[in-house]
């Protein structure tokens, strides 16, 4: 393999759920810079269309698709639209997620179910739909967004549903990796630490304690995740499957 092209995504077709902003948008911009055509999948079509337009300005093909990742029919329809537009899917970055900070003893069932439905069931549904396309063609890379919260229990905020969902994503990733390895489909995940996105910055009261507990003494930037994502998306990671990459500034080391 030509080392210059180790991280090239030229000719690859990708979709990114939660791609309109935050980590998803940073990944979309990086995938486009590496040469991939990217579908921005989100529930916020205004932001999704804006991100898709930014990608087209880079000279790649892009489209915005609205999708409720908790709805199997909606997910299948989304994948069908991407295949219709791009011809295939080589990369699926399943990134949509939410967090609810409620104490377990007072958390409503609706809150618990919503977090699990989006963060875990949503990843299963989008991975399954993409996996069917990839299995049929004998190759593909699926990347799921887990979290360091799938490895540790965060403090001081209560978030049992989020932690449970992300731990589930890690083992789901490993399970799909084993099931689909002989089809040529790779499945990996990333586990970010505290990253400065709209979701985390809303919790400004906890940021000082988060930064104090992180050995690098700061929050990460969405852009600091993209090199790992490009590695997992590119052919250079051909022998990497079932892996969870923890990118947390050292938080889980202490």
What residues are annotated to the active site? 147, 162, 166
41 neighbors 89 (Cβ within 8 angstroms): no
42 alpha carbon, distance to own chain's centre:
12
Rounded CA gap, 32 and 23, in Å?
14
C-alpha 82/C-alpha 87 separation (Å) is 8
């Amino acid at each position: 393999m030509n080392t210059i092209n180790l991280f090239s995504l030229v000719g690859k077709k990708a979709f990114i759920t939660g791609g309109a902003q935050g980590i998803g948008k940073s990944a979309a911009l990086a995938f486009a810079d590496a040469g991939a055509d990217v579908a921005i999948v989100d529930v916020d079509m205004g932001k999704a269309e804006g991100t898709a337009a930014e990608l087209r300005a880079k000279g790649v093909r892009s489209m915005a698709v609205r999708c409720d990742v908790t709805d199997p029919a909606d997910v299948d329809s989304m994948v069908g639209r991407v295949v219709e537009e791009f011809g295939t899917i080589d990369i699926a970055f399943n990134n949509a997620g939410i967090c609810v900070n409620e104490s377990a003893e007072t958390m409503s069932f609706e809150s618990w179910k919503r977090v699990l439905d989006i963060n875990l069931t949503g990843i299963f549904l989008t991975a399954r739909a993409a996996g069917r396309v990839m299995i049929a063609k004998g190759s593909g890379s699926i990347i799921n967004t887990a979290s360091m919260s799938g490895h540790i229990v965060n403090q001081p905020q209560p978030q049992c549903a989020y932690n449970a969902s992300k731990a589930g994503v890690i083992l789901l990733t490993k399970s799909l990796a084993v099931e689909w390895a002989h089809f040529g489909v790779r499945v990996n995940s990333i586990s970010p630490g505290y990253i400065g996105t709209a979701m985390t910055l809303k919790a400004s009261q906890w940021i000082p304690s988060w930064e104090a507990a992180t050995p690098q003494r700061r929050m990460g930037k969405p852009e600091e995740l993209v090199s790992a994502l490009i590695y997992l998306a590119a052919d250079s990671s051909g022998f990497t499957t079932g892996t969870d990459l923890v990118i947390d500034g050292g938080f889980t080391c202490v």
